[in-house]
Structure 1
Amino acid sequence: MTHLMTTPAAPLTPDAFGGSRSALRAELRRRRRALTPRQRLEASERLCRGLRRLPEVQRTRRVALYLPNDGEIDPTPLIDWFRRRGARVHLPVLRPLSRNRLWFVHYHPGTPMVTNRYGIPEPHTRHGAHRARRLPAWALDLILLPLVGFDEAGQRMGMGGGFYDRSLAFTRRPGPRPRLIGLAHECQRVERLPAAPWDVPLDAIVSDARAVRP
Protein backbone atom coordinates (compact mmCIF):
# COMPACT_ATOMS: atom_id res chain seq x y z
CA MET A 1 0.00 0.00 0.00
CA THR A 2 1.32 3.47 -0.92
CA HIS A 3 0.00 6.62 0.75
CA LEU A 4 -0.47 9.67 -1.48
CA MET A 5 -1.57 12.12 1.25
CA THR A 6 -1.11 12.35 5.02
CA THR A 7 -4.66 12.65 6.40
CA PRO A 8 -6.89 9.93 4.87
CA ALA A 9 -10.53 9.82 5.90
CA ALA A 10 -11.70 7.17 8.37
CA PRO A 11 -13.22 4.15 6.58
CA LEU A 12 -16.81 3.04 6.91
CA THR A 13 -17.63 -0.15 8.81
CA PRO A 14 -20.04 -2.50 6.96
CA ASP A 15 -21.47 -3.79 10.25
CA ALA A 16 -23.28 -0.45 10.61
CA PHE A 17 -25.42 -1.47 7.60
CA GLY A 18 -26.38 -4.92 8.86
CA GLY A 19 -24.44 -6.65 6.12
CA SER A 20 -26.60 -5.06 3.40
CA ARG A 21 -24.50 -4.42 0.28
CA SER A 22 -27.24 -2.24 -1.20
CA ALA A 23 -27.42 -0.01 1.89
CA LEU A 24 -23.62 0.29 2.01
CA ARG A 25 -23.51 1.07 -1.73
CA ALA A 26 -26.14 3.80 -1.29
CA GLU A 27 -24.15 5.41 1.55
CA LEU A 28 -20.90 5.32 -0.41
CA ARG A 29 -22.57 6.93 -3.42
CA ARG A 30 -24.07 9.58 -1.13
CA ARG A 31 -20.62 10.32 0.29
CA ARG A 32 -19.00 10.92 -3.06
CA ARG A 33 -21.94 13.03 -4.32
CA ALA A 34 -21.61 15.20 -1.18
CA LEU A 35 -18.11 16.33 -2.15
CA THR A 36 -17.92 19.96 -3.27
CA PRO A 37 -16.72 20.84 -6.79
CA ARG A 38 -13.41 22.05 -5.31
CA GLN A 39 -12.96 18.80 -3.35
CA ARG A 40 -13.64 16.79 -6.49
CA LEU A 41 -11.15 18.81 -8.51
CA GLU A 42 -8.43 18.46 -5.87
CA ALA A 43 -9.13 14.73 -5.52
CA SER A 44 -8.85 14.29 -9.29
CA GLU A 45 -5.51 16.12 -9.34
CA ARG A 46 -4.12 13.92 -6.55
CA LEU A 47 -5.46 10.78 -8.22
CA CYS A 48 -3.88 11.61 -11.57
CA ARG A 49 -0.53 12.48 -9.97
CA GLY A 50 -0.52 9.09 -8.27
CA LEU A 51 -1.52 7.22 -11.43
CA ARG A 52 1.19 8.87 -13.53
CA ARG A 53 3.79 7.37 -11.18
CA LEU A 54 2.65 3.76 -11.71
CA PRO A 55 4.78 1.68 -14.14
CA GLU A 56 1.77 0.04 -15.84
CA VAL A 57 0.25 3.47 -16.47
CA GLN A 58 3.50 4.90 -17.82
CA ARG A 59 4.06 2.10 -20.32
CA THR A 60 0.50 1.60 -21.60
CA ARG A 61 -0.21 2.15 -25.30
CA ARG A 62 -3.87 1.06 -25.35
CA VAL A 63 -5.87 2.27 -22.38
CA ALA A 64 -9.55 2.45 -21.46
CA LEU A 65 -10.93 4.87 -18.89
CA TYR A 66 -14.35 6.34 -18.08
CA LEU A 67 -16.12 9.70 -18.07
CA PRO A 68 -17.17 10.38 -14.44
CA ASN A 69 -20.82 10.23 -13.41
CA ASP A 70 -22.72 10.36 -10.12
CA GLY A 71 -19.76 11.86 -8.24
CA GLU A 72 -17.16 9.33 -9.47
CA ILE A 73 -13.56 10.43 -9.19
CA ASP A 74 -12.39 12.00 -12.44
CA PRO A 75 -9.52 10.43 -14.45
CA THR A 76 -10.10 12.50 -17.61
CA PRO A 77 -7.14 14.88 -17.06
CA LEU A 78 -5.04 11.85 -18.05
CA ILE A 79 -6.51 11.76 -21.57
CA ASP A 80 -4.19 14.44 -23.02
CA TRP A 81 -1.25 13.01 -21.03
CA PHE A 82 -1.83 9.57 -22.56
CA ARG A 83 -2.08 11.04 -26.06
CA ARG A 84 1.17 12.98 -25.68
CA ARG A 85 2.83 9.68 -24.81
CA GLY A 86 1.44 8.01 -27.93
CA ALA A 87 -1.26 5.96 -26.20
CA ARG A 88 -4.72 5.39 -27.72
CA VAL A 89 -7.58 6.15 -25.34
CA HIS A 90 -10.80 4.10 -25.32
CA LEU A 91 -14.14 4.62 -23.57
CA PRO A 92 -16.67 2.00 -22.44
CA VAL A 93 -19.89 1.80 -24.46
CA LEU A 94 -22.99 -0.19 -23.50
CA ARG A 95 -22.87 -3.06 -25.96
CA PRO A 96 -26.12 -3.33 -27.95
CA LEU A 97 -28.09 -6.59 -28.01
CA SER A 98 -26.01 -7.99 -25.15
CA ARG A 99 -26.98 -7.98 -21.49
CA ASN A 100 -24.75 -5.80 -19.30
CA ARG A 101 -21.59 -5.96 -21.40
CA LEU A 102 -19.26 -3.30 -22.73
CA TRP A 103 -17.43 -2.35 -25.89
CA PHE A 104 -14.22 -0.29 -25.63
CA VAL A 105 -14.26 2.33 -28.39
CA HIS A 106 -11.37 4.56 -29.48
CA TYR A 107 -11.98 8.13 -28.30
CA HIS A 108 -10.61 11.36 -29.79
CA PRO A 109 -11.88 14.99 -29.96
CA GLY A 110 -13.96 14.25 -33.08
CA THR A 111 -15.71 11.15 -31.71
CA PRO A 112 -19.52 11.51 -32.00
CA MET A 113 -21.02 11.21 -28.52
CA VAL A 114 -24.46 10.39 -27.13
CA THR A 115 -25.90 10.00 -23.64
CA ASN A 116 -26.72 6.42 -22.71
CA ARG A 117 -29.66 5.21 -20.63
CA TYR A 118 -27.76 5.92 -17.40
CA GLY A 119 -27.09 9.54 -18.37
CA ILE A 120 -23.41 8.88 -19.14
CA PRO A 121 -21.78 10.29 -22.31
CA GLU A 122 -20.31 7.60 -24.56
CA PRO A 123 -19.25 7.21 -28.21
CA HIS A 124 -22.26 6.76 -30.47
CA THR A 125 -23.22 3.10 -30.89
CA ARG A 126 -23.18 3.34 -34.71
CA HIS A 127 -19.68 4.81 -34.51
CA GLY A 128 -18.46 2.06 -32.20
CA ALA A 129 -20.08 -0.68 -34.26
CA HIS A 130 -17.20 -0.46 -36.75
CA ARG A 131 -14.61 -3.00 -35.59
CA ALA A 132 -11.73 -0.72 -36.59
CA ARG A 133 -12.89 1.81 -33.97
CA ARG A 134 -12.92 -0.53 -30.98
CA LEU A 135 -10.76 -3.13 -29.31
CA PRO A 136 -11.71 -6.34 -27.55
CA ALA A 137 -10.99 -6.00 -23.85
CA TRP A 138 -8.22 -8.62 -23.97
CA ALA A 139 -6.28 -6.44 -26.47
CA LEU A 140 -6.10 -3.43 -24.14
CA ASP A 141 -3.01 -2.88 -22.00
CA LEU A 142 -4.81 -1.15 -19.14
CA ILE A 143 -8.37 -0.48 -17.98
CA LEU A 144 -9.13 2.20 -15.37
CA LEU A 145 -12.57 1.46 -13.94
CA PRO A 146 -14.76 3.27 -11.40
CA LEU A 147 -15.53 1.82 -7.98
CA VAL A 148 -18.25 2.48 -5.42
CA GLY A 149 -16.19 1.12 -2.52
CA PHE A 150 -12.89 -0.56 -1.68
CA ASP A 151 -10.85 -1.81 1.26
CA GLU A 152 -7.12 -2.09 1.98
CA ALA A 153 -7.12 -5.80 1.13
CA GLY A 154 -8.04 -4.92 -2.44
CA GLN A 155 -11.68 -6.00 -2.30
CA ARG A 156 -13.99 -3.72 -4.23
CA MET A 157 -17.64 -2.87 -4.79
CA GLY A 158 -19.06 -1.76 -8.12
CA MET A 159 -22.38 -0.21 -9.09
CA GLY A 160 -24.12 -3.57 -9.06
CA GLY A 161 -24.92 -3.82 -12.76
CA GLY A 162 -22.12 -6.27 -13.50
CA PHE A 163 -21.00 -4.54 -16.71
CA TYR A 164 -17.28 -4.75 -15.96
CA ASP A 165 -17.50 -8.16 -14.28
CA ARG A 166 -19.22 -9.71 -17.31
CA SER A 167 -17.00 -7.92 -19.82
CA LEU A 168 -13.80 -8.87 -17.98
CA ALA A 169 -14.71 -12.40 -16.82
CA PHE A 170 -12.15 -13.75 -19.32
CA THR A 171 -9.33 -12.40 -17.12
CA ARG A 172 -9.87 -15.34 -14.77
CA ARG A 173 -8.64 -17.69 -17.53
CA PRO A 174 -5.15 -18.06 -19.00
CA GLY A 175 -4.38 -15.82 -21.95
CA PRO A 176 -3.74 -12.16 -22.80
CA ARG A 177 -5.43 -9.67 -20.51
CA PRO A 178 -5.21 -6.00 -19.56
CA ARG A 179 -4.04 -4.67 -16.23
CA LEU A 180 -7.07 -3.59 -14.18
CA ILE A 181 -6.94 -0.60 -11.83
CA GLY A 182 -9.99 0.55 -9.88
CA LEU A 183 -10.39 4.24 -9.01
CA ALA A 184 -12.28 5.84 -6.11
CA HIS A 185 -12.41 8.77 -3.74
CA GLU A 186 -10.76 8.10 -0.39
CA CYS A 187 -14.15 8.67 1.30
CA GLN A 188 -15.28 5.44 -0.43
CA ARG A 189 -12.84 3.34 1.58
CA VAL A 190 -14.48 0.67 3.75
CA GLU A 191 -12.92 -1.14 6.71
CA ARG A 192 -13.51 -4.47 5.00
CA LEU A 193 -15.59 -5.72 2.09
CA PRO A 194 -16.69 -9.31 1.56
CA ALA A 195 -15.68 -10.77 -1.80
CA ALA A 196 -18.56 -11.62 -4.14
CA PRO A 197 -17.98 -14.71 -6.31
CA TRP A 198 -18.55 -12.73 -9.52
CA ASP A 199 -16.08 -9.93 -8.68
CA VAL A 200 -13.19 -9.82 -11.15
CA PRO A 201 -9.95 -9.30 -9.17
CA LEU A 202 -8.07 -6.04 -9.75
CA ASP A 203 -4.32 -5.52 -10.03
CA ALA A 204 -4.50 -2.29 -8.02
CA ILE A 205 -6.89 0.24 -6.51
CA VAL A 206 -5.97 3.92 -6.48
CA SER A 207 -7.73 6.71 -4.60
CA ASP A 208 -6.75 10.33 -4.05
CA ALA A 209 -4.94 9.16 -0.89
CA ARG A 210 -3.44 5.73 -1.54
CA ALA A 211 -2.60 2.95 -3.94
CA VAL A 212 -3.53 -0.57 -2.85
CA ARG A 213 -2.14 -3.68 -4.51
CA PRO A 214 -4.06 -6.81 -3.49
Structure 2
Amino acid sequence: MNHIERTPDPDKRTLRRQILTVREGLPGDVVRETGRTLAARALELPELARAGTVAAYVSVGSEPGTIALLDALRARGVRVLLPVLLPDNDLDWGAYDGEGSLARVRRGGRMTLFEPSGAPLGPDAVTDADVVLLPGLAVDTHGTRLGRGGGSYDRVLARLDRAGARPALVVLLYDTEVLEHVPTEPHDRPVHAAVTPSGVRRFG
Protein backbone atom coordinates (compact mmCIF):
# COMPACT_ATOMS: atom_id res chain seq x y z
CA MET A 1 0.00 0.00 0.00
CA ASN A 2 1.34 3.45 -0.91
CA HIS A 3 2.50 5.67 1.95
CA ILE A 4 0.74 8.93 1.21
CA GLU A 5 -0.69 11.65 3.37
CA ARG A 6 -4.25 11.45 2.02
CA THR A 7 -5.78 8.32 0.57
CA PRO A 8 -9.27 8.06 -1.00
CA ASP A 9 -11.86 6.20 1.00
CA PRO A 10 -11.90 3.22 -1.43
CA ASP A 11 -8.46 2.32 -0.07
CA LYS A 12 -9.95 2.24 3.43
CA ARG A 13 -12.63 -0.13 2.18
CA THR A 14 -10.01 -2.42 0.65
CA LEU A 15 -7.99 -2.48 3.87
CA ARG A 16 -11.13 -3.19 5.90
CA ARG A 17 -11.98 -6.16 3.69
CA GLN A 18 -8.46 -7.54 4.01
CA ILE A 19 -8.43 -7.30 7.80
CA LEU A 20 -11.95 -8.68 8.20
CA THR A 21 -11.05 -11.65 5.99
CA VAL A 22 -8.11 -12.47 8.26
CA ARG A 23 -10.22 -12.05 11.40
CA GLU A 24 -12.98 -14.29 10.08
CA GLY A 25 -10.42 -17.08 9.64
CA LEU A 26 -9.36 -17.03 13.30
CA PRO A 27 -10.32 -20.07 15.41
CA GLY A 28 -12.63 -19.41 18.33
CA ASP A 29 -10.04 -20.44 20.89
CA VAL A 30 -7.62 -17.82 19.53
CA VAL A 31 -10.28 -15.11 19.83
CA ARG A 32 -11.08 -16.15 23.41
CA GLU A 33 -7.44 -16.36 24.47
CA THR A 34 -6.74 -12.99 22.88
CA GLY A 35 -9.54 -11.49 24.96
CA ARG A 36 -8.02 -12.80 28.19
CA THR A 37 -4.55 -11.57 27.24
CA LEU A 38 -5.86 -8.16 26.18
CA ALA A 39 -7.62 -7.76 29.51
CA ALA A 40 -4.39 -8.41 31.39
CA ARG A 41 -2.45 -5.99 29.18
CA ALA A 42 -5.06 -3.25 29.32
CA LEU A 43 -5.42 -3.44 33.09
CA GLU A 44 -1.74 -2.47 33.36
CA LEU A 45 -2.48 0.91 31.78
CA PRO A 46 -2.15 3.75 34.32
CA GLU A 47 -5.09 5.47 32.63
CA LEU A 48 -7.36 2.54 33.46
CA ALA A 49 -5.91 2.14 36.94
CA ARG A 50 -7.09 5.63 37.89
CA ALA A 51 -10.29 5.73 35.83
CA GLY A 52 -13.63 6.15 37.53
CA THR A 53 -15.67 5.80 34.32
CA VAL A 54 -14.71 3.89 31.18
CA ALA A 55 -16.67 3.91 27.93
CA ALA A 56 -16.17 0.55 26.24
CA TYR A 57 -18.01 -1.87 23.94
CA VAL A 58 -18.93 -5.54 23.71
CA SER A 59 -16.91 -7.39 21.09
CA VAL A 60 -18.79 -9.45 18.51
CA GLY A 61 -17.72 -12.25 16.21
CA SER A 62 -13.97 -12.38 15.67
CA GLU A 63 -13.22 -8.98 17.22
CA PRO A 64 -10.61 -9.09 19.98
CA GLY A 65 -12.66 -10.10 23.02
CA THR A 66 -13.67 -7.47 25.59
CA ILE A 67 -15.90 -9.25 28.13
CA ALA A 68 -13.00 -10.29 30.35
CA LEU A 69 -11.84 -6.67 30.47
CA LEU A 70 -15.32 -5.31 31.13
CA ASP A 71 -15.79 -7.71 34.04
CA ALA A 72 -12.36 -6.91 35.48
CA LEU A 73 -13.06 -3.17 35.35
CA ARG A 74 -16.45 -3.65 36.98
CA ALA A 75 -14.84 -5.78 39.72
CA ARG A 76 -12.52 -2.84 40.41
CA GLY A 77 -15.51 -0.61 40.98
CA VAL A 78 -15.17 1.22 37.68
CA ARG A 79 -18.37 2.53 36.09
CA VAL A 80 -18.46 0.96 32.62
CA LEU A 81 -20.56 2.51 29.86
CA LEU A 82 -21.54 0.57 26.74
CA PRO A 83 -22.95 1.92 23.48
CA VAL A 84 -26.46 1.57 22.10
CA LEU A 85 -26.63 2.09 18.34
CA LEU A 86 -29.25 4.66 17.33
CA PRO A 87 -31.09 4.69 13.97
CA ASP A 88 -28.89 7.53 12.65
CA ASN A 89 -25.67 5.63 13.59
CA ASP A 90 -25.03 7.87 16.60
CA LEU A 91 -24.49 6.19 19.97
CA ASP A 92 -26.47 6.36 23.19
CA TRP A 93 -24.93 4.80 26.32
CA GLY A 94 -25.98 2.52 29.15
CA ALA A 95 -24.33 1.05 32.24
CA TYR A 96 -22.76 -2.41 32.19
CA ASP A 97 -23.94 -4.56 35.10
CA GLY A 98 -22.49 -7.91 34.04
CA GLU A 99 -23.15 -10.22 31.10
CA GLY A 100 -26.69 -10.79 32.31
CA SER A 101 -27.47 -7.12 31.70
CA LEU A 102 -26.77 -7.38 27.97
CA ALA A 103 -29.49 -7.64 25.34
CA ARG A 104 -28.85 -9.32 21.99
CA VAL A 105 -30.14 -7.01 19.26
CA ARG A 106 -30.05 -6.92 15.48
CA ARG A 107 -30.13 -3.52 13.81
CA GLY A 108 -31.68 -3.92 10.37
CA GLY A 109 -29.45 -6.05 8.18
CA ARG A 110 -26.37 -5.43 10.30
CA MET A 111 -24.51 -7.76 12.60
CA THR A 112 -26.01 -8.82 15.91
CA LEU A 113 -24.88 -6.55 18.73
CA PHE A 114 -24.88 -6.88 22.50
CA GLU A 115 -26.14 -3.72 24.18
CA PRO A 116 -26.94 -2.72 27.77
CA SER A 117 -30.58 -3.39 28.60
CA GLY A 118 -30.88 -0.75 31.33
CA ALA A 119 -32.10 2.82 31.04
CA PRO A 120 -30.35 4.86 28.35
CA LEU A 121 -28.13 7.62 29.69
CA GLY A 122 -28.03 9.79 26.57
CA PRO A 123 -25.35 10.37 23.92
CA ASP A 124 -23.55 12.92 26.13
CA ALA A 125 -22.89 10.35 28.87
CA VAL A 126 -19.63 9.48 27.13
CA THR A 127 -18.22 12.90 28.03
CA ASP A 128 -17.91 11.68 31.65
CA ALA A 129 -15.48 8.92 30.65
CA ASP A 130 -11.86 9.04 31.78
CA VAL A 131 -10.96 6.42 29.14
CA VAL A 132 -12.74 5.53 25.89
CA LEU A 133 -12.01 2.06 24.51
CA LEU A 134 -12.58 2.23 20.77
CA PRO A 135 -13.29 -0.67 18.45
CA GLY A 136 -11.10 -0.73 15.38
CA LEU A 137 -9.60 -2.81 12.62
CA ALA A 138 -6.11 -1.32 12.60
CA VAL A 139 -3.93 1.53 13.81
CA ASP A 140 -0.76 2.98 12.34
CA THR A 141 2.45 4.35 13.82
CA HIS A 142 0.87 7.81 14.13
CA GLY A 143 -2.13 6.52 16.08
CA THR A 144 -4.56 6.76 13.15
CA ARG A 145 -7.37 4.25 13.77
CA LEU A 146 -9.19 2.39 11.04
CA GLY A 147 -12.83 1.86 12.04
CA ARG A 148 -15.55 -0.12 10.32
CA GLY A 149 -16.74 2.91 8.36
CA GLY A 150 -20.12 3.52 9.98
CA GLY A 151 -19.09 6.86 11.46
CA SER A 152 -20.51 6.19 14.94
CA TYR A 153 -17.23 6.80 16.74
CA ASP A 154 -16.41 9.83 14.59
CA ARG A 155 -19.54 11.34 16.16
CA VAL A 156 -18.44 10.27 19.62
CA LEU A 157 -15.02 11.88 19.17
CA ALA A 158 -16.60 15.06 17.83
CA ARG A 159 -18.93 15.14 20.86
CA LEU A 160 -15.95 14.82 23.19
CA ASP A 161 -14.24 17.71 21.42
CA ARG A 162 -17.31 19.94 21.67
CA ALA A 163 -17.58 19.20 25.39
CA GLY A 164 -13.89 19.91 25.98
CA ALA A 165 -13.52 16.34 27.30
CA ARG A 166 -10.06 14.79 27.05
CA PRO A 167 -10.31 11.09 27.89
CA ALA A 168 -7.55 8.67 26.99
CA LEU A 169 -8.42 7.03 23.66
CA VAL A 170 -7.39 3.38 23.45
CA VAL A 171 -7.97 0.82 20.68
CA LEU A 172 -7.88 -2.97 21.20
CA LEU A 173 -6.36 -4.98 18.34
CA TYR A 174 -4.55 -8.13 17.28
CA ASP A 175 -0.76 -7.81 16.91
CA THR A 176 -0.89 -7.95 13.10
CA GLU A 177 -3.23 -4.94 12.99
CA VAL A 178 -0.61 -2.38 14.02
CA LEU A 179 0.45 -1.13 10.59
CA GLU A 180 2.95 1.35 9.23
CA HIS A 181 0.22 3.37 7.51
CA VAL A 182 -3.57 3.68 7.65
CA PRO A 183 -5.37 5.91 5.10
CA THR A 184 -6.17 9.25 6.73
CA GLU A 185 -9.03 11.71 6.29
CA PRO A 186 -9.29 15.24 7.72
CA HIS A 187 -11.79 14.27 10.43
CA ASP A 188 -9.68 11.37 11.77
CA ARG A 189 -8.50 11.86 15.33
CA PRO A 190 -5.52 9.78 16.54
CA VAL A 191 -5.76 7.48 19.53
CA HIS A 192 -3.33 7.66 22.43
CA ALA A 193 -2.57 3.95 22.71
CA ALA A 194 -3.21 0.54 21.19
CA VAL A 195 -3.37 -2.62 23.28
CA THR A 196 -2.47 -5.90 21.58
CA PRO A 197 -1.68 -9.34 23.05
CA SER A 198 2.04 -8.55 22.91
CA GLY A 199 1.78 -5.25 24.78
CA VAL A 200 0.88 -1.57 24.67
CA ARG A 201 1.89 0.79 21.88
CA ARG A 202 1.68 4.52 22.67
CA PHE A 203 1.44 7.37 20.18
CA GLY A 204 2.52 10.96 20.51
Equivalent residue pairs, number: 194
After TM superposition, give the deviation of residue 151 of structure 1 in Å.
1.7
1:42-80 CA distance string (max 9 Å, x none): 222221111111100111111122111231101210222
3-state secondary structure, aligned to 2:67: coil
Q: For structure 1, list consecutive stretches of 5 or more residues without a partner in the other structure.
A: 1-13
RMSD, aligned α-carbons: 2.4
Q: For structure 2, list consecutive stretches of 5 or more residues without a partner in the other structure.
A: 3-7
Percent identical across equivalent pairs?
Answer: 33
Corresponding position of 1:79? 70
Equivalent of 2:31, from 23, 36, 40?
A: 40
Counterparts in 2 of 1:114 and 1:21: CA distance versus 1, 3 Å: same
1:11-160 to 2 correspondence within 5 Å?
14-15=1-2, 20-96=11-87, 99-109=88-98, 111=101, 113-117=103-107, 118=110, 119-124=112-117, 127-129=118-120, 131=121, 136-160=125-149
- Could you tell me which amino acid in structure 1 is paired with residue 155 of structure 2? R
- Could you tell me which amino acid in structure 1 is paired with residue 113 of structure 2? I
Q: Normalized against structure 1, the TM-score is what?
A: 0.80
- Say if 1:65 and 1:91, in contact at 8 Å, map to a contact too: yes
- Could you tell me which amino acid in structure 2 is paired with residue 37 of structure 1? G
Q: 2:60 & 2:185 partners in 1: Cα distance? A: 24
Counterparts in 2 of 1:74 and 1:91: CA distance versus 1, 3 Å: same
- Say if 2:81 and 2:126, in contact at 8 Å, map to a contact too: no
- Say if 1:32 and 1:188, in contact at 8 Å, map to a contact too: no
Corresponding position of 2:198? 209
1:174-210 CA distance string (max 9 Å, x none): 7233221111111223231132212232121111223
- Say if 1:184 and 1:206, in contact at 8 Å, map to a contact too: yes
3-state secondary structure, aligned to 1:57: helix
